[in-house]
A and B are shown apart, each in its own frame.
Chain A
Amino acid sequence: MRILVCVKQVPGSSNVQVDPVTGVLKRDGVQSKMNPYDLYALETALCLTERFGGSVEVITMGPPQAKAIIREAICMGVKQGTVLSDRRFAGADVLATAYTLSQGIRKTGEYDLIICGKQTTDGDTAQVGAEIAEFLNLPNVAGVLSVQEVLGESIVVTASQDDKVVTMSLKLPCLISVDGDINTPRLPSYKVGKSVTDDLIHFLSLDDFEDQNVHNYGLSGSATQVERIFSPEKNTEKHEIEGTSLQQADKLYALLHSKKLV
């Protein structure tokens, strides 16, 4: 079984603020890490190959520094990985990101199974997986809790759908997005880390893709446009609810009502 896991390098902290003067993002430090949700996808993939044989590869889109997370994935047991890196990919929204990844995946090989994490901690959209599946014309399902069986041409998974758990079979090849917290991701091996060579980390740019139209990538290929960013209004006002216990309960009830909780 040949499995591909889509990963992303994200800021180490979500503690970003808007500069009140320029209205631009301020990020403290440049530390970054592997998107935590991707670790569950990697663990799922590695467990599958342990049970059913095969190999795991990873792919990411990002700046050249993103090779750090490819290296980390290799230390966890992944065979090799690819960074899709090109200035022309900059400013990509969900649509352009998914399209770029799908083009990269077409180039890196044919996979039986593609696994994505639930979402990233910086974009938080949880939509890229489904859009990749569309561009690759694969069946997909999100909220996957477990892969129960691999049966030659198909896999059986359980997935969360509101208050139900659905068991379903998907024909291979397919794409699944796994939920967070469904397993305990293994730690990267220090020993493997010492022997990882750069030839296991590949780089592709737009010039390597089948579709060479620059207008399908980066900001040009994005359908959404950020008009402005601003700091959320913080609820900093403090109120004291006074009165007899009955009056306090009444006022609290009114508060719950205004919050649509009752």
Chain B
Amino acid sequence: MGSLIINQKLVHNENAKDLMALCPFGAISYEEQKLNISSGCKMCKLCVKKSDGVITYQEDIKAKIDKDLWKGICVYVDHLAGRIHRVTYELIGKALELAKVTDHPVYALMIGHDVGESAEKLLHYGVDKVYVYDHPLLKDFTIEPYTAAFCDFIDKVKPSSVLVGATNLGRQLAPRVAARRRTGLTADCTVLEMKENTDLVQIRPAFGGNIMAQIISPDTRPQFCTVRYKVFNEPKPGKDASGEIIKLEIDESKLGSGIEVLSYVDKPKDIDISESDVIVAVGRGAMSEGARRMATELADLLGGNLACTRPLVEGSILDAKRQIGLSGRTVKPKFIICLGISGSVQFVAGMKSSDCIVAINSDRNAAIFDYAHYGIVGDVNEIVPQLIAKIKEGRANV
């Protein structure tokens, strides 16, 4: 896309020193009256802005692609033996929103074997077309045949953007396809927007979530991105089916693989709290057996994990793997609810960067309230059972 040009004539000891100090990546050096930029450069172009012409940026002249030849937003249907992963519906909902800007159709792409029935379900979500590759050699997910089918689809349909769920499967398939088509791929987008010129604006956290980066792929198509589960809203399925299912064929010779799936077993339910999106944490104020049972039930209902403070581990009440804090695990879930936790410095150090913190404690002056986004002064043993009842009632009404 471009390169940095150093105008050595303008370089002298002083501005060289300034530039070396300026570079956040330590990529600028000055030796024998010559300024050098090393491969530590990340092309942040700060030096271009601040060097008064010593370092300039030269744009490459690239062959422009005809963006009008690429039409439609495609959602890859993530499934295991026809069981569709819910992230697929969330992405369809987002794709429909994005498509409004450019008036493009929305497609779903499903690759597998005997998936006809599942494909029908997608017609209740407002997609224009569901493209299906159905072949015995596509029964298990193996990378080469799935990549071949995906690329075959891209060549035939030419979608402008492709959204893939950031599941284990999607994280392997999307990069492989994007690399084969030499196009851009942005992982784990949290915000997607569409420009009128069909460029997909992809926003994702970078550097451990301290920075957000806004990314586009202006010169290649299709534009690939992956999105994690539960980032976007799942639309409600409509009563009536709309759109059509189109079967696509691929030559069997392209479906060979060096991988053979031997067996599947259910994953044992792990208790890696550092990977949890949702955590219910209990402290000294919720140490009784009843309170713990309640907290476990709440964690299960929310699809999360139970965690605790140090006293519960020291009292051999819960496993050390569940401990949050300096001497336990550091967690950064999307949601954490702290029950009967005072909020010691050591505990808070292990969870304070969580996206949303709720605390319930009977002591109004508990330190945890300094960190909680939502504080509830009250009795855990009264509030939580009512919350659980409410969640169950909500489930029953769906």
Chain A interface residues (CB < 8 Å from chain B): 11, 14-18, 22, 24-27, 30, 61-65, 85-91, 93-95, 98-99, 121-131, 133-135, 138-143, 156, 159-171, 174, 181, 215, 218-220, 222-232, 235, 237-242, 245-246, 248-250, 252-253, 255-257, 259-262
Contact with A131, one of B178, B230, B233, B302 (Cβ below 8 angstroms): B178
**A residues near B180, Cβ cutoff 8 Å:** 134
A235 touches B356 (CB 8 A): yes
Q: With A161-B80, A259-B335 in contact, do A30 and B259 touch (Cβ < 8 Å)?
A: no
Q: Known: A164-B266, A262-B394. Contact between A15 and B216, CB under 8 A? A: no
A143 contacts across to B, CB distance below 8 A: 168
- A25 contacts B211, C-beta separation under 8 Å: yes
- A contact residues around B253 at 8 Å (CB): none
Q: How far is the CA of A32 from the CA of B191 in the complex (A)?
A: 30
| Residues of chain B contacted by A160 (CB below 8 angstroms) | 168, 267
Chain A residue contacts of B346, Cβ below 8 A: none
A138 surroundings in chain B (CB, below 8 A): 258
Does B258 contact A241, Cβ atoms closer than 8 Å? no
Bound together, the chains give a CA A201 to CA B31 distance in angstroms of 24
Per the CB 8 Å criterion, the residue count for chain B at the interface is: 105
Picked from A98, A123, A130, A257, the residue with its CB within 8 Å of the CB of B172 is A130
Interface residues of B (CB under 8 A from A): 1-3, 24-27, 37-44, 46, 49-50, 60, 80, 85, 141-144, 147, 167-169, 171-176, 178-180, 182-188, 201-202, 205-220, 230, 233-234, 257-267, 272, 278, 301-303, 334-335, 355-356, 358, 369, 372-379, 382-384, 386-387, 390-391, 394-395
A162 to B168, CA, bound (A): 6
Q: Give every chain A residue within 8 A of B234 (Cβ-Cβ).
A: 260
Chain B residues positioned under 8 Å from A125 (CB to CB): 187-188
How many residue pairs between the two chains, A and B, have CB atoms under 8 Å in the bound complex? 302
Query: Are B1 and A130 within 8 A (Cβ)?
Result: no
CA distance A11 to B40 in the complex (A): 12
Assess whether A18 is in contact with B1, with CB atoms less than 8 Å apart. Answer: no
Find chain B residues with CB under 8 A from A226 CB. Answer: 213-215
Quick one: closest B residue to A28, CB to CB?
A: B24
A164, closest chain B residue (CB): B264
Contact (A25, B267) CB under 8 Å given A90-B39, A238-B372, A252-B383: no
User: Contact at B356–A259, with CB atoms within 8 Å?
Assistant: yes
Residue from B49, B185, B220, B382 having most chain A Cβ neighbours under 10 A: B185
Chain A residues whose CB sits within 8 angstroms of the CB of B261 once the complex forms: 166-168
Residues of A near B24 (CB, < 8 A) are: 24-27
Q: Which residues of B contact A261 (CB under 8 A)?
A: 278, 302-303, 335
Once the chains bind, are A142 and B172 in contact (CB under 8 Å)? yes
Closest CB in chain B relative to A106 CB, distance in Å:
15
CB distance from B217 to the nearest CB of A (A): 5
CB distance from A67 to the nearest CB of B (A): 12
- B179 touching A227, Cβ below 8 Å: no
The residue that B376 contacts in the complex, of A93, A121, A240, with Cβ under 8 A, is: A240
Looking across the interface, which residue of chain B has its beta carbon closest to that of A233? B212
CA distance A225 to B202 in the complex (A): 10
Quick one: which of A126, A162, A168, A255 contacts B262, CB cutoff 8 A? A168
Interface of A is mostly: mixed
Q: In the complex, are the beta carbons of A224 and B39 less than 8 A apart? A: no
**How far is B379's CA from A130's CA once the two chains are assembled, in angstroms?**
51
**Beta-carbon contact of A168 and B2 below 8 Å:** no
- Are A248 and B378 in touch, CB under 8 angstroms? yes
- Contacting pair A89 B167 (CB below 8 A): no
- A241 in complex: contacting residue of B85, B171, B259, B375, CB < 8 Å: B375
Complex Cα distance, B363 from A2, in Å, reads 62
Measured between beta carbons, the chain B residues less than 8 angstroms from A219 are 1-3, 43
Given contact pairs A134-B179, A168-B262, A246-B386, A139 touches B206 in the complex (Cβ within 8 A): no
Q: Are A131 and B175 in contact (CB under 8 A)?
A: yes
Quick one: closest A residue to B22, CB to CB?
A: A24
Find chain A residues with CB under 8 A from B355 CB: 235
Q: How far is the CB of A238 from chain B (nearest CB, A)?
A: 6
CB-CB under 8 A from A95, the residues of chain B are 178-179, 182-185
Report B-chain residues with C-beta under 8 Å of the C-beta of A63. Answer: 27, 38-40
Least CB separation from A64: chain B residue: B38
What residues of chain B lie closer than 8 Å to A238, measured between beta carbons?
Answer: 369, 372-375
Q: How far is the CB of A95 from chain B (nearest CB, A)?
A: 6
Seed contacts A160-B168, A255-B374, A262-B301; 9 additional CB < 8 Å A-B pairs: A85-B39, A88-B3, A124-B206, A130-B176, A131-B178, A142-B168, A218-B3, A224-B216, A237-B373
Residue of B nearest to A131 (CB): B179
The answer to whether B175 touches A127, judged by C-beta atoms less than 8 angstroms apart, is: yes
Q: Which residues of B contact A126 (CB under 8 A)?
A: 171, 187
Residues on the B chain within 8 Å of A231, using CB: 210-212
Contact residues in A for B174 (Cβ distance below 8 Å): 127
Tell me which residues across on chain B come within 8 A of A25, comparing CB atoms: 24, 44, 207, 211
A-B contact pairs, 18 of them (CB 8 A): A85-B38, A90-B40, A90-B41, A95-B183, A124-B187, A125-B188, A133-B143, A140-B143, A143-B168, A162-B168, A167-B263, A167-B265, A220-B3, A231-B212, A241-B376, A248-B376, A248-B383, A253-B391
